[in-house]
Amino acid sequence: MEEINVEEIMKDIRDDIRVKGYTEDMLSFKDVECVKDGVYEYDQEDYKQLLSDMEKRKTIPWYCELGQNGIRKFIKKFIRKSVGFLIAPITDGQNGFNSMVTDGFEQLAGFIENQKEELEKNRRYIIMLEEKIEEMQQEIETLKKK
Amino acid sequence: MRIIQLLPSIAYGDAVSNDAMALQEALQRKGYETATYAENIDIRLSEKIAKKINKMPRLEKEDVIIYHMSTGTELNYRLAEYDARKVVIYHNVTPEHFFEGYSKRLQELCVAGIEGMRYLADKVDYCMADSEYNRQDLLKAGYGCKIDILPILIPFSDYKKEPESSIIRRYGNDGYTNILFTGRIAPNKKQEDIISAFYMYQKYYNPKSRLFLVGSYKGMQVYYQRLKRYVKELGVKNVFFSGRVKFEEILAYYSIADLFLCMSEHEGFCVPLVEAMCFDVPIVAYNSSAVGDTLGGAGILLENKNYLETAGMIEYIVKNEEIKERVIKGQRKRLQYFKHDRIEKLFLEYMNQFL
């Protein structure tokens, strides 16, 4: 195999870094706090992905596809038909529950969005009030001087 | 005589499981009576591929168990009790210190894995290790039996499947440089170092760049969240965490990648390096554990972990067509070593010698 002289390339790279004055100043990973085990931070993108995955997987069919042919398939088909009256209502129940959970999570997503809007509205309102207070304090100061 | 493969878990997309499945096919083709048994089986896998361990038949003295060792499990101890010839394929156990502060459960699993590995040192008849690094681990643990090196058997024909077009449409050929790393989000793989090097690259060399960290973060949410915080606090743009993806999506990420960056500090083999070779994606990797063994002189192997210099190396390769071609040429040559037929033949030869 044709060897590439990495050290030689690295020497050129180091020279180039020195000439251009690049520095490795940056935030270290060690300085980033670790969240506690089991405590998750809300991340809008992750949450959207979770909702989309839940939506795709919430319905479980009561039967599974039988791949192989021949006698084994016939027997499995027979068993599937025989127990269908038991399995189908159970999966129906599970699917109903899954639907409710998914709906719940979607409602939560809506709630989070509403809360975010509400918080933003309140934040702007607080800023406006702070500005007003400052104006009024200035007016008081001027009045006091008079 | 039967040849039984034994492993704790078998699932789609996991390197050890894929290896076991590929070896099973090889044994079947050679006409051996063989089966695979596991404690946990992915529900998508049919009984033809793997059966629950409690269905394992009673073994005779002339039967052979091939045990895939990679984690802490009761199987490490149960293996010694079977009245059959025992072969270990060692995929390595991640040292527990990597998981400190992230997952107590995984830490315990790793400790148990290493203890189990040591326990079996004088109880097996033959070993195969994915890499020289793994072989050295076994020797250090006191394994006195013969140990051969058998790289992971990779079914390259699967990589010819159609990649997910939506990813290619979204990120391919749009003037951005795409840096890729594939593999579970895990502290031993040091995704934070990839982010740091990418930050330097984006800051000094190429603002029109993206980083894709492709892999599941299941069970590693704490580390994943810390990485996300790091990205946010650094202010580095265009860092994408894919989460768990379908195989076709992995193929798409390789298709759009301009460079594969690996800063991992613990790998028993590192299948993604071979995958990158398969897709002609130039590799820049930090020399640790089995990474150097797998690259075997191909790609660019960095001896020091310096983010700025790594960024400089990324720029050097991405911008320099001549060196890029040389790297790819070297990788293509190295890929021949991992050819499915070659590794399969090697495995069957090893088995023949053992039997």
Distances (CA, A) of B208 to B61, B147, B203, B312: 63, 48, 10, 15
User: What is the pLDDT, as a whole number, of residue A2?
Assistant: 64
CB–CB contact A13 B316 (8 Å): yes
Residue B318 one-letter amino acid: V
Q: Is the pLDDT confidence value at B54 over 90?
A: no
Residues of B near A (Cβ–Cβ under 8 Å) read: 46, 101-104, 192-193, 195-196, 199-200, 204, 221-222, 225-226, 228-230, 233-234, 243, 296-298, 300-303, 306-309, 312-313, 316, 323, 326-327, 329-330, 333-334
Across the interface, do A37 and B104 touch by the CB < 8 Å criterion? yes
Partnered with residue B336 across adjacent β-strands are none
**Which has the closest alpha carbon to B279: B297, B245, B255?**
B255
Which residue has better confidence, B172 or A72? B172
As a whole-number percent, the residues of chain B with pLDDT over 70 amount to: 100
Q: Which pLDDT score is estimated for B15? A: 83
H or E element, residue B214: strand B209-214
Among candidates B54, B44, B106, which has minimal Cα distance to B75?
A: B54
Q: Do B334 and A1 touch (CB under 8 A)?
A: yes
Residue A39: the pLDDT is: 60
Q: Is B187 in contact with B267 (CB distance < 8 Å)?
A: no
How wide is the angle at C-alpha B257 spanned by C-alphas B253 and B258, nearest 5°? Answer: 180
Confidence of residue B243 (pLDDT cuts 50, 70, 90): confident
Closest by Cα among B284, B314, B312, B282 to B210: B314
> Of B17, B7, B20, B11, nearest to B41 (Cα)?
B11
Q: At B128, is the pLDDT very low, low, confident or very high (cuts 50, 70, 90)?
A: very high
Residue from B201, B217, B228, B320 whose CB has the most chain A CBs within 10 Å, to mutate: B228
- Which pLDDT score, from 0 to 100, does residue B139 have? 96
Stretch A16-28: mean pLDDT: 93
Is the CB of residue A8 less than 8 Å away from at least one CB of chain B?
no
Condensed to tens digits (0 to 9), the pLDDT of residues A23-33 reads 988 999 999 88
- Calculate how close chain A gets to B113, using CA atoms only, in Å: 22
Nearest to B314 by CA among B276, B353, B281, B271: B281
Neighbours of A69 (CB within 10 A): 8
Amino acid at B349: E
**Nearby residues of B54 by Cβ (< 8 Å), 6 or more positions away:** none
CA separation, residue B233 to residues A32, A73, B204, B306 (Å): 8, 57, 18, 20
Instruction: Give A42→chain B minimum CA distance, Å.
Output: 10
Q: How far apart are CA B21 and CA A18, in angstroms?
A: 51
Q: Any residues with CB less than 8 A from the CB of B239 and at least 6 apart, and which? A: B195, B198, B210, B211, B213, B231
Question: What mean pLDDT is predicted for residues B263-271?
Answer: 95
- pLDDT for B201-213, tens place per residue? 999 999 999 999 9
What does the pLDDT read at residue A1? 59
Residue B303: list chain A partners with CB under 8 A. Answer: 6
What is the pLDDT averaged over residues A29-45? 74
Residue length, chain A? 146
Distance from CA of A140 to the nearest CA of B (A): 42
Among the residues of chain A, which ranges form H helices? Answer: 6-20, 44-57, 71-145
Query: Which two three-digit tokens encode residue A118?
Result: 């509400």
Dihedral (C-alpha) A27, A28, A33, A34: value to the nearest 10 degrees? 140
To 5 degrees, how large is the angle CA B45–CA B153–CA A6? 130
Are B309 and A22 in contact (CB < 8 Å)? no
Q: Could you tell me if B39 and B70 are in contact, meaning their C-beta atoms sit under 8 angstroms apart? A: no
Contact between B147 and B129 under an 8 Å Cβ cutoff? The reply is yes
Cα-Cα-Cα-Cα dihedral sign, residues B2, B7, B8, B10: negative
A43 touches chain B (CB under 8 A): yes
**Nearest C-alpha of chain B: how many angstroms from A15?**
10
How much is the average pLDDT of B163-183?
Answer: 94
Least confident of B11-20, B186-195, B239-248: B11-20
Cβ pair B306:A27 closer than 8 A = no
Mean pLDDT of chain B: 93
What is the chain B residue with the closest CA to A13? B312
Give the single-character DSSP code of A41. Answer: P
Phi, psi angles (nearest 5°) of residue A38:
85, -5
pLDDT number for residue A80 = 87
Residues of B in contact with A22 (CB under 8 A): 200, 204, 308
**B198 and B261 Cβ atoms separated by less than 8 Å:** yes
pLDDT for B283 equals: 98
Residues B87/B354, Cβ–Cβ less than 8 Å:
yes
Judging contacts by C-beta atoms under 8 Å, the chain A residues touching residue B195 are 29
Nearest-CB residue to B309 (from A1, A14, A36): A14
What pTM was estimated for this model as a whole?
0.80
Give the pLDDT band of residue B342 (cuts 50, 70, 90): very high
Q: Is the pLDDT of residue A42 over 80?
A: no
Does the ipTM surpass 0.85?
A: no
Q: Using the beta-carbon criterion (under 8 Å), do A32 and B233 form an inter-chain contact?
A: yes
Is the CB of residue A19 less than 8 Å away from at least one CB of chain B?
no
What is the DSSP track for B77-133? Answer: HHGGGSSSEEEEEE-----GGGGTTT-HHHHHHHHHHHHHHHHGGGT-SEEEESSHH
Between CA B30 and CA B46 the distance in angstroms is 21
- What's the average model confidence in pLDDT over B69-75? 89
Strand, helix or coil at B35? Answer: strand
Cβ-defined contact of A1 to B233 (cutoff 8 Å): no
- Which has more confidence, B53 or A17? A17
* More confidently predicted of B189 and A75: B189
Q: Which residues of B337-346 are buried (b: 16+ CB within 10 A; e: fewer)?
A: ebeeeebbeb
CB B283 within 8 A of CB B331: yes
For residue B244, the model assigns a pLDDT of 83
How far does the CA of residue B226 sit from the closest CA of chain A (Å)? 5
Calculate mean pLDDT across residues B162-167: 91
What does the pLDDT read at residue A36?
64
Residue A67 has pLDDT above 70, yes or no: no
From chain A, the residues in CB contact with B333 under 8 A are: 1
CA distance B344 to A140: 89
